[in-house]
A and B are shown apart, each in its own frame.
Chain A
Amino acid sequence: MMAIFEYAPAPESRDVVDIKPSYGLFINGEFTDGSGPSFKTVNPATEEPLAEIASATSDDVDRAVQAARKAFGVWSALPGAERAKYLFRIARIIQERARELAVLESLDNGKPIRESRDVDLPLVAAHFFYYAGWADKLEYAGFGRRTTNGQGGTKPLGVAGQVIPWNFPLLMLAWKIAPALACGNTVVLKPAETTPLTALLFAEICRQADLPPGVVNIVTGAGDTGAAVVAHPDVNKVAFTGSTEVGRIIARTVAGTDKKLTLELGGKAANIVFEDAAIDQAVEGIVNGIFFNQGHVCCAGSRLLVQESIQDELLAALKRRMGTLRVGDPLDKNTDVGAINSAAQLAKIRELSEIGESEGAERWSPACELPDKGFWFPPTVFTGVAQSHTIARDEIFGPVLSVLTFRTPAEAVEKANNTPYGLSAGIWTEKGSRILWMADKLRAGVVWANTFNKFDPASPFGGYKESGYGREGGLLGLEAYLDV
């Protein structure tokens, strides 16, 4: 039966963005060829190739680091107020070109335009605005005067090598570049192999802003390129967002050097719903927690811990709500869940889901038609999950929710903390003292109470344990880019 109120397709126009057939590396303010074999970036919703991307070898990375080193002298010597104005300028250009960037992000990443338009891009601009304001106020950031043992002060580190993931390509770029530049560092940034396009458009924005050459360098490529950035001897600071597995390798690589390291890695967050929760908002929080950005979120609420007394009611409400999720064309303004970013990621999600089934958890997805081409996975919930199930422990990084139950607050805390990760957690209850008790006990860097997946440039983000170290955002985000 046809629904009474069927939404007609409402595609965002692709015409606002002009994708070139091929892109080089952005080094010293110029686009240059890469020495490695170029590769294609594809639209994961259609598998259509979008552009040919240069690949940076370690020689290219060396050129980029040299450019950044040279620029560091100039950039770090600029008065903070001048650096601030460059960053404000960049923030403004991002706002002016927001639609173009949002469309490009959705094309390259597969995320719904509603999210790239209403979440990613506003946060990207806000991040540059936020750190722009810090550039001339570092003396007030509370790191104190420099001691004779070399602590405190406002000294930048030098050249920052930054490697970012594919789930929030431009937002992660902003999280890395804005504080680095505000503190007086210069950067060599490697975007993810599958999502380089917005970083390359950002390079163009740096030129529009007349940013001095070499302050921002973008080197595209695969894991080798990232490894070259991390290992380069003239890099003073390494910042990485990505998997815990790669994070470990990076920590080992920088061991024994003077490089400062911050890592923002994986997670397996518990989203804990008590029987007295505001149920409708909790359901929204669960949905937003795991299906936002196709679940490609390190802080995703991938483990739902629901109090046994309300599990039937909550699951019924959750499934009903999942039935209204609109999966499909990322450029359609009414799409809630877009494409999985790559074939490799899709294979991983499928594999872990199959393990979930084979280990005895019960799998459910709403009826939804998936496009024939492209990489797709339906919103999925597993019930009857135990802590010992693989899907309760491994990060799936996809739209797959594992549901577990608990009886008491203490049991909820115990299960929530029973993981090597510690990035985020959610609490849903109408009782204030319980929220604060839970928040105190949960070993996670971000605790969302009666909300989930909220981000802000003023709010520090980062994990405990194997979710990494260091914080991005807020005053504490400066620490990662200052020699304090």
Chain B
Amino acid sequence: MSRLSVRKTYKLYIGGAFPRSESGRSYPVTSPKGEFLANASRASRKDARDAVVAARKAFPGWSGATPYNRGQILYRVAEMLEGRRAQFAEELAQSGQGGKKAALEAVDATVDRLVWYAGWSDKIASVHGAANPVAGPYFNLSSPEPTGVVAIVAPADPLLGLVSVVAPVIVTGNTCVVVASEPSPLAAITLAEVLATSDLPGGVVNVLTGRQAELAPWLAAHMDVNGLDLTGVADADLALQCEQAAAENLKRVLRPVQEDWTADPGIGRMTRFLETKTVWHPVGI
């Protein structure tokens, strides 16, 4: 008699913990062929609210950490992911993201992407800041600072796409609430397990699974969210509705884009959620 396997319960990841949706709801996740894979939590607006609270709470500590420290932690995430390479590849393959080989390539690309962004933590200020030569006796320095709490609607690509939108947001000191790919949310929760064991403070990344159309508008309208990444919103009406809602507190919005996740990412995803602070001081004796 073959052994009955122990299935994983896929929960949410909020404030460093793995709660079920407060609503008690879940939804079945299937492979493209229709095979049942797991029940994922179907987060509610209240879960989204809790996630924003957790992200806000984590913001001072994370944004106040040294860039070196943030880089170390992102690199640690890469290390942890590398260690679970086979698990992620299998999960990706099961959920129909290409064959085994393609899945492994995707995991490797994800690890490499994390390493790439990890290195940016203490370089972005040099590239995106400036010593400004003003016409007067003043020291004048512009440096980038994180925007705050960023809500992200992750793209369909369940792992590489997800990490490609989350890493640039957090490496600079933002905290985030990410709505995982609706049809393929499982990798996101497994990634959360990696994050939870990588010295990343709880609340820096919060992962919600569920209905994009249900969650995104609440996050877009939330007055304690500073930035909104709509990359994964395929429905133009939903994107419009979210961007309009985001106008209420002038969120920084990244509109939906079709992106080749294997291409050179550039620094745009980091700078989009950075503020520039310019400090003046007189120079005199």
Which residues from chain A sit less than 8 Å from chain B, CB to CB? 126, 142, 144, 147-149, 151-152, 244, 247-249, 251-252, 255-256, 258, 263, 265, 420, 422, 435, 439, 442, 444-451, 454, 456, 458-462, 464-469, 471, 474-476, 479, 484
A-B contact pairs, 9 of them (CB 8 A): A142-B128, A144-B267, A447-B279, A451-B281, A451-B282, A454-B134, A460-B142, A460-B276, A475-B130
Instruction: Tell me, in angstroms, the Cα distance from A445 to B144 when the chains sit together.
Output: 10
Is the beta-carbon distance between A439 and B279 smaller than 8 angstroms? yes
Smallest distance from the beta carbon of B111 to chain A beta carbons, Å? 20
Choose the segment among B180-188, B196-204, B211-219, B242-250 that binds chain A (4+ C-beta atoms closer than 8 Å). B242-250
Residue of A nearest to B227 (CB): A469
Contacts known (A148-B263, A446-B280, A447-B277); A460 close to B250, Cβ less than 8 A: no
Instruction: Tell me, in angstroms, the Cα distance from A183 to B228 when the chains sit together.
Output: 27
**Which residue in A126, A149, A446 is a CB contact (below 8 Å) of B264?**
A149
Is the beta-carbon distance between B250 and A469 smaller than 8 angstroms? yes
Instruction: Tell me, in angstroms, the Cα distance from A461 to B80 when the chains sit together.
Output: 41
Residues of B within 8 A of A152 (CB): 266, 268
Residue of B nearest to A456 (CB): B134
Residue of B nearest to A453 (CB): B280
By size class, the interface of chain B is 35 or more
Residue of A nearest to B269 (CB): A151
Smallest distance from the beta carbon of A182 to chain B beta carbons, Å? 17
Residues of A within 8 A of B35 (CB): none
Smallest distance from the beta carbon of A172 to chain B beta carbons, Å? 18
Instruction: Tell me, in angstroms, the Cα distance from A267 to B133 when the chains sit together.
Output: 26
| Most B Cβ at <10 Å: residue of A258, A263, A451 | A451
Contact string against A for B residues 83-111, beta-carbon threshold 8 Å, 1 for contact and 0 otherwise: 00000000000000000000000000000
Instruction: Tell me, in angstroms, the Cα distance from A375 to B128 when the chains sit together.
Output: 44
Residues of B within 8 A of A147 (CB): 263-266
Is the beta-carbon distance between A476 and B130 smaller than 8 angstroms? yes
Residue of A nearest to B236 (CB): A256
**Which residue in A151, A447, A461 is a CB contact (below 8 Å) of B266?**
A151
Residue of A nearest to B242 (CB): A255
Is the beta-carbon distance between B277 and A444 smaller than 8 angstroms? yes
- B36 sits at the interface (CB 8 A): no
- B285 sits at the interface (CB 8 A): no
- B127 sits at the interface (CB 8 A): yes
Residues of A within 8 A of B240 (CB): 255-256
Could you list 17 further interchain pairs (A-B, Cβ under 8 angstroms) beyond the known A447-B277, A460-B276?
A126-B135, A147-B264, A149-B266, A151-B268, A248-B248, A251-B246, A252-B247, A265-B250, A442-B277, A446-B278, A446-B280, A450-B282, A454-B134, A454-B280, A458-B132, A459-B140, A460-B142
Smallest distance from the beta carbon of B238 to chain A beta carbons, Å? 10
| Most A Cβ at <10 Å: residue of B147, B249, B276, B278 | B278
Is the beta-carbon distance between B280 and A459 smaller than 8 angstroms? yes
Contacts known (A456-B132, A465-B226); A471 close to B266, Cβ less than 8 A: no
Instruction: Tell me, in angstroms, the Cα distance from A461 to B236 when the chains sit together.
Output: 33
Is the beta-carbon distance between B250 and A149 smaller than 8 angstroms? no
Contacts known (A248-B250, A460-B278); A144 close to B134, Cβ less than 8 A: no
- B259 sits at the interface (CB 8 A): yes
Residues of B within 8 A of A468 (CB): 250
Compute the total of residue contacts between A and B using a CB distance below 8 Å: 132
Residues of A within 8 A of B268 (CB): 151-152, 484
Is the beta-carbon distance between A149 and B265 smaller than 8 angstroms? yes
Instruction: Tell me, in angstroms, the Cα distance from A152 to B243 when the chains sit together.
Output: 24
Residue of B nearest to A448 (CB): B280
Instruction: Tell me, in angstroms, the Cα distance from A389 to B132 when the chains sit together.
Output: 37
Is the beta-carbon distance between B250 and A244 smaller than 8 angstroms? yes
Smallest distance from the beta carbon of A144 to chain B beta carbons, Å? 7
Residue of A nearest to B226 (CB): A465
Residue of B nearest to A474 (CB): B132
Instruction: Tell me, in angstroms, the Cα distance from A484 to B127 when the chains sit together.
Output: 15
Is the beta-carbon distance between A451 and B236 smaller than 8 angstroms? no
Contacts known (A147-B266, A263-B250); A445 close to B277, Cβ less than 8 A: yes
Residues of B within 8 A of A439 (CB): 277, 279
Residues from 208 to 262 in B contacting A, C-beta threshold 8 Å? 226, 236, 239-240, 243-244, 246-250, 252-253, 255, 257, 259-260
Residues of A within 8 A of B263 (CB): 147-149
Instruction: Tell me, in angstroms, the Cα distance from A148 to B142 when the chains sit together.
Output: 29
Residues of A within 8 A of B138 (CB): 451, 454, 456
Smallest distance from the beta carbon of B195 to chain A beta carbons, Å? 26
- B24 sits at the interface (CB 8 A): no
Is the beta-carbon distance between B132 and A460 smaller than 8 angstroms? yes
**Which residue in A151, A249, A255, A450 is a CB contact (below 8 Å) of B281?**
A450
Instruction: Tell me, in angstroms, the Cα distance from A466 to B142 when the chains sit together.
Output: 20
Instruction: Tell me, in angstroms, the Cα distance from A454 to B279 when the chains sit together.
Output: 11
Instruction: Tell me, in angstroms, the Cα distance from A282 to B36 when the chains sit together.
Output: 69
Residue of B nearest to A442 (CB): B277
Contacts known (A148-B260, A252-B244, A451-B282); A459 close to B266, Cβ less than 8 A: no
Is the beta-carbon distance between A466 and B130 smaller than 8 angstroms? no
Residues of A within 8 A of B140 (CB): 456, 458-459
Residues of A within 8 A of B127 (CB): 142
Instruction: Tell me, in angstroms, the Cα distance from A244 to B248 when the chains sit together.
Output: 10
Is the beta-carbon distance between B278 and A445 smaller than 8 angstroms? yes
Contact string against A for B residues 150-174, beta-carbon threshold 8 Å, 1 for contact and 0 otherwise: 0000000000000000000000000
- B34 sits at the interface (CB 8 A): no
Smallest distance from the beta carbon of A381 to chain B beta carbons, Å? 24
**Which residue in B135, B244, B267, B281 is a CB contact (below 8 Å) of A449?**
B281
Residue of B nearest to A450 (CB): B282
Instruction: Tell me, in angstroms, the Cα distance from A152 to B275 when the chains sit together.
Output: 18
Smallest distance from the beta carbon of B213 to chain A beta carbons, Å? 16
Residues of A within 8 A of B265 (CB): 147, 149
Contacts known (A255-B244, A458-B132, A458-B133); A476 close to B250, Cβ less than 8 A: no
Instruction: Tell me, in angstroms, the Cα distance from A152 to B260 when the chains sit together.
Output: 16
Closest 10 CB pairs of A and B: A251-B247, A255-B243, A151-B266, A256-B240, A456-B134, A252-B247, A458-B132, A151-B268, A449-B281, A255-B244
